[in-house]
Amino acid sequence: MDRRHFLSLTAAAAALPLAAQAAPMRYTPGLVQKHLAAGDTVFLDFTASWCSTCAAQERVLTSLKAENPAYEANIVFIDVDWDTYGRSELAKSLNIPRRSTLVVLKGNQELGRIIAQTGTSQIKSLMDMALSAAGA
């Protein structure tokens, strides 16, 4: 094996754990309840691929996760596709008014939510609340 090939393989292998953590789970029915029943803190992102506010929120979430790996280590992030699940039982039970809604759940309680906000400080506050709940 030549040096270039070895270095490429080593870099790819080192990046795999980070890549696996970087992507939030995609919602499927029952996923939220499964994690809540396990005692996890769940961060729901009701998002749509065509939504510019959702894209702005995603940039902030990605940046904050990169700055503090404890978020992804302790919080279960789940993306809920608005076009598919915007009228689902989950959205109805949580009274989700629109896409670009971020919600934190623990047990059978909603701990906080943000609707159509893209400010770093607001999103960081919600993530810090989730991190605090995850440690409790």
Q: What pLDDT sits at residue 23? A: 73
Range of the domain at 130: 24-135
Determine, yes or no, domain membership for 4: no
The number of domains in the chain is 1
Residue 17: inside a domain: no
Q: What is the CATH number of the domain that holds 121?
A: 3.40.30.10
pLDDT digits (tens, 9 = 90+) for 24-35: 899 999 999 999
Is position 7 within any domain?
Answer: no
* Distant-in-sequence, close-in-space partners of 25: CB < 8 Å, separation ≥ 6: 31, 76, 77, 78, 79
Q: Is residue 58 part of a domain?
A: yes
Q: How confident is the model at residue 9 (pLDDT cuts 50, 70, 90)?
A: low
In the predicted model, what is the mean pLDDT of residues 38-46?
97
Listed as own residue / partner, the contacts of 86-91 with beta carbons closer than 8 Å and 24 or more positions apart are 86/46, 88/29, 89/29, 90/27, 90/29, 90/32, 91/46
Answer yes or no: are the C-beta atoms of 32 and 42 closer than 8 Å.
Answer: yes
